[in-house]
Structure 1
Amino acid sequence: MRFWIVLLMSLCSLSSQATTPPTDRVMAWEGLPLPITLAVGKETLITFDSDVRVGVPSGLYSQARIDALRGTVYITANSAFESQRLQVERLRDGLRMLIDIRAQEGITHQKYIDIVTADEKAALESAKATQKKQAKHVEALRMPIPALLVRYAYQNLYSPHHAIEPLPGVSRIAMQLDKDIQAQAFPLWPVTATPVAAWFMGDYTVTAITLTHKNTDTMTLDPRQVTADAYAVSFAFPDMGPAMTDSAMNTAFIVTKGPLADRLPPRFEEITP
């Protein structure tokens, strides 16, 4: 019999990782002039989603070189100058955007800047979120099936519905177990063991079992003491507190090849001499 413990905290951390903040390279036109600071003597490329033309104040030509080619505006400041306003027109629909540029010595050079409309920004953020979700899903599928099943069962019991990550290929299965399987699976522990739900994927089944401590001490859970013919045993928490306290309840996750009912020792009354 092989036992190993799935570390639930690390498995479930995938669903709680913070998203990466957006880069400063992308700026959204929302009706307010967009401020851009240039580094003197270094070219900056400002790109749009389609062809544009640029209205430049006449006094700015002596301070900067400005060229527009299709959907990109190329700007190189010759010297430092205070804010000057460019008017950019998108040719496909006549949308006008305002950009306030200035130049300073000794600042960090940002070579590329993308300007999008509010709708395009929302679409871009949606696309990035989809890509992250897909990448996370691909990464998750690299995990062993038993670990995936335990994480899925844990989320179903402890996470809000919207936080449950989909797991293609998993299905719920009837348990066909007694209301209390303490004598068969946890005979060394003073607990009641109530099966809650089971899911299968491929050759493996995970069964979630609610454990309720009966004694007044604190008990550390050892998966090696579980008597099921299990591929893996894990617990929501590493120990159980005294009876009648909040910590007296725990959840065991038993992964077996096939249903758990086929991997338990026979009940006492089924043992024949």
Structure 2
Amino acid sequence: MDCHARYHSRRVLRRAVGQACPREISAPRCTHGRRSRNQSLRFGMGLLQRRTTTHRGQCGSSRNSVERSLQMSVLRVITYSTLLAVLAGNAQVASAVEILRWERLPLAIPLRINQERIVFVDQNVRVGLPRSLTEKLRVQSTGGAIYLFAKEAIEPTRLQLQNAKTGEIILVDIAATEASADQTPLEPVKIVEGETSSARYGGAATARSAKATAKSTESTSRSSDENDEPEEVVKRETPVPVVLTRYAAQMLYAPLRTVEPVDGIAQVKVERNLDLATLLPTLPVKSTPLGAWRLDDFWVTAVKLQNQTAQRITLDPRELMGEFVTAAFQHPYLGSRGDASDTTTLYLVTRGHGLTQAAVFSATQADPRAAQGAKHER
């Protein structure tokens, strides 16, 4: 009985203890089985927080990578732009050319001692160099380029660049000074024509054109003159003989810097020892060729006339012998021999050939007025 009572009291005590402290008794049991709702909620919240944190980390890392890639792209663009700018600057410095326009005003071209400067003219020119610069300046000309090398200081001096084809002169003022250590070399100079040429003088309204026609098999029996269409010769705004005469007069009497350039005019060779005794057979004058120029199909020859008598002679183009398109005298008369007016120039324009084929050499010279000269006196 005592044992039974003892066992029963223990069971009651256990029940009482279990009802009084159910959490303390059941808590250890839950740790081995299912978790409580709070613990499950805490576990879910922790997982959500961990996932959110992970997502934030991933977003942050991706944002950082994007920013880094953008920064690298910007750096690459800046680097490439800077490199291109540097290369372009170097190329620009290497190929820089100073452009000067010739508009009848002297062009200033500074030089530096012991530095060569190139002047591009794109024309076959002759350089007129003063004697004072012979030992100070080295000048070389080839292929339309002039190479100037100053050996010592040069005061402002004027050079003349003459076109060998047209005779036009370009005035250039040079001066050489000492170059400092930090100065860059002078760039080359290119001289181009300005827009001062007169359109009316020697200019053509349109260009000359030749129409080439195809020959058919049916017209083989015709002559070439009948088959070929005539060439269209375009009229100039000023007659060619007038242009040539004026140009020759300017070349002989006007300052070369004022000679008006004409496209197409070329100087031709003339025989200095050509016998022109029959040019004016009735006048006591001596005729000597001076020069000749050509434009299109026309030639102009300048002939010097000198009085051989002490009488004044009136010049008349009707007394000329030869085939000439036009003839003009620089002065209307010749003074007595020994005077400043005893010499003048005659301009003869021929077509298709020069003066050699136009003059008459078979006639004998006659001078019936050499002794009297009454008709030519005034």
Q: TM-score range by the shorter chain?
A: 0.3 to 0.5
TM-score by length of 2: 0.35
Q: Which has the higher helix share?
A: 2
TM-score by length of 1: 0.48
Larger Rg: 2
